[in-house]
Amino acid sequence: MTWLVLLGALLCMLRVGLGTPDSEGFPPRALHNCPYKCICAADLLSCTGLGLQDVPAELPAATADLDLSHNALQRLRPGWLAPLFQLRALHLDHNELDALGRGVFANASGLRLLDLSSNTLRALGRHDLDGLGALEKLLLFNNRLAHLDEHAFHGLRALSHLYLGCNELASFSFDHLHGLSATHLLTLDLSSNRLGHISVPELAALPAFLKNGLYLHNNPLPCDCRLYHLLQRWHQRGLSAVRDFAREYVCLAFKVPASRVRFFQHSRVFENCSLAPALGLERPEEHLYALVGRSLRLYCNTSVPAMRIAWVSPQQELLRAPGSRDGSIAVLADGSLAIGNVQEQHAGLFVCLATGPRLHHNQTHEYNVSVHFPRPEPEAFNTGFTTLLGCAVGLVLVLLYLFAPPCRCCRRACRCRRWPQTPSPLQELSAQSSVLSTTPPDAPSRKASVHKHVVFLEPGRRGLNGRVQLAVAEEFDLYNPGGLQLKAGSESASSIGSEGPMTT
């Protein structure tokens, strides 16, 4: 056993002394066709930041993602992508490319992503992007583009995101989008350019889903009333391209850079603008209300029959038959859109896009869907019975009021209960005079005698202000009124004598 251990130790010493293929004495094994100093991993090839002035001569045929960014590339030779038949993404950003040329992308029919940002491109010709029929995302921002050919994007049938920001473009054709197909285009970035003239009717005619992704901020736009009302309406509708960059939408009031005015913060500039010219620019959207758990169906109504119909969901998903990725939305054979079980995620703007030989790209129909929860149903009851019962009770109360008045005291069987009331000063005065009178209250009436009994009260302390009150009964002669004597309290005799006697 000991000799086996010694043999293993000897072999290890020999391996260390002679070295291994991974040691510094031997260079690492180079992968198949991997360029010098580049990194190859499966179908990825990265040659970034190497200061390359030309594309490596040999590239692995299995490359699907090629990164040549942050180099010094100035030209691309035609047909250089011929060996890369599996290429899906190409990164050429942060180089020194000032032109492309015809046939540069002739063999890139499967390319999905092309990044040409942060170069020195000045123009795009008609055939510069030929061969990119499957391209979905094109990045051209941060260049020096000042001119676009009228059909520069003609062959990009599947393009959905186009970034042209931070360039020197002074105009852009929104009528035909320089050859682009609006069927798939969802994002069009034209921010931070020199756009000084924009056709407002062309903007209004764009599909709603493209308006949501149309970025025009930080451009010297004209302070036009129609453009102001159009952008204001987009802002009120909550289109993300306007809502997220509202502070950066500016216009020139006097066509000089010093007269920059913010669209949504200096409304005084547009106070005299009339809304009439802006009416009718956009087709009004149709508002629909749906309940959670119910079904909903939307129809794409166009002026003429369409050859192809597609929908755009509120989540900016392009919907074609059979429907959405999660299966909650179906696109039927007639082009209509069906939702079997409406949920909160289905709230928002649905846009129908119809294309055909006799249709323009702006043949769209918009549905603004609001989703609500159903209200709980109230407890069942017979409203007719309750109404009849209420009428009967009301009739009975009316009859009681008319034919059964309150209790009358004239009847012996009815005894009215009267609550004690506080006597008024006049009633107290009458009562006192009756008590002090010598004539019995129930004595038979007789002729008035010559002698009367007069009662004078002393002045009260509350409410009479020194007036004489009946106090003592004295006999006096009507034919000798001079013998009448008055008794007063603390008041002066002059105030007491001002009042006359009261006779009963």
Task: Give pLDDT, residue 277.
Answer: 58
How many domains does the chain divide into?
1
Closest by Cα among 430, 481, 463 to 501: 481
CB atoms within 10 A of CB 283: 13
CA angle 248, 254, 259 (to 5 degrees): 45
Is there a domain that residue 359 lies in?
yes
Q: What DSSP element (H or E) covers 348?
A: strand 348-355
Residue 342 lies in a domain: yes
The pLDDT, as a whole number, for residue 283 is 63
Separation between Cα atoms, residue 184 and residue 312, nearest integer Å:
9
Residue 168: Cβ within 10 Å count: 13
* pTM of the predicted protein model: 0.58
| Residues in a beta bridge with 476 | 452
Find the domain containing 342 and state its range.
Answer: 286-372
CB-based burial label for 379 (10 Å; 0-12, 13-18, 19+): exposed
- Rounded Cα distance between 249 and 375, Å, is 42
> Where residue 328 sits, what CATH number does that domain have?
2.60.40.10
For residue 45, report the phi and psi dihedrals to the nearest 5 degrees.
Answer: -135, 115
The ranges of the chain with pLDDT < 70 are 1-32, 182-183, 258, 266-267, 274-285, 302-305, 357-363, 376-383, 405-504
Q: Is residue 293 part of a domain?
A: yes
Q: How many CB atoms lie within 10 A of CB 302?
A: 19
Q: What is the pLDDT of residue 224?
A: 83
Residue 411 belongs to a domain: no
| pLDDT score recorded for residue 437 | 46
Residue 306, in any domain of the structure? yes
Q: Name, in order, each residue with C-beta under 8 angstroms of 409's C-beta and a sequence gap of 6 or more.
A: 416
pLDDT (tens digit per residue) in 265-284: 766 777 777 665 555 566 66
Residue 197 covered by a domain: no
pLDDT given for residue 134 in this prediction: 92
Task: Give one DSSP letter per residue of 163-224, joined into a string.
Answer: E--SS------TTTGGG--TTT--EEE--SS------HHHHHTS-HHHHHTEE--SS-EE--
Backbone angles phi, psi at 248, to 5 degrees: -100, 5
CB 212 within 8 A of CB 189: no
